[in-house]
Amino acid sequence: MKIESPAFKQGESIPAKYTCKGADINPPLHIADVPANAKSLALIMDDPDAPVGTWVHWLLWNIPPQTTEIKENSVPAGAVQGKNSWGRSTYGGPCPPSGTHRYFFKPYALDALLSLSSSADKGQLEKAMKGHILTQAELMGTFKK
Q: Tens of pLDDT along 70-98?
A: 999 999 999 999 999 999 999 999 999 99
Q: Tens of pLDDT along 42-79?
A: 999 999 999 999 999 999 999 999 999 999 999 999 99
**β-sheet bridge partners, residue 144:** 100
| Structure confidence at residue 120 (pLDDT) | 98
Residues 105/3, Cβ–Cβ less than 8 Å:
yes
Which range marks the domain in which residue 46 is found? 2-144
Total number of domains constituting the chain: 1
Count of other CB atoms within 10 angstroms of residue 73: 14
Q: What mean pLDDT is predicted for residues 96-124?
A: 97
Radius of gyration of the chain from Cα atoms?
14
CA dist 22 and 107 (Å) reads: 24
pLDDT tops 90 at residue 145: no
Residues of the chain above pLDDT 70, percent: 100
pLDDT band at residue 108 using 50, 70 and 90 as cut-offs: very high
| Structure confidence at residue 14 (pLDDT) | 98
Residue-averaged pLDDT of the chain:
97
pLDDT band at residue 124 using 50, 70 and 90 as cut-offs: very high
Q: Give the containing element (helix H, strand E) for 127.
A: helix 122-129
Q: What is the CATH number of the domain that holds 82?
A: 3.90.280.10
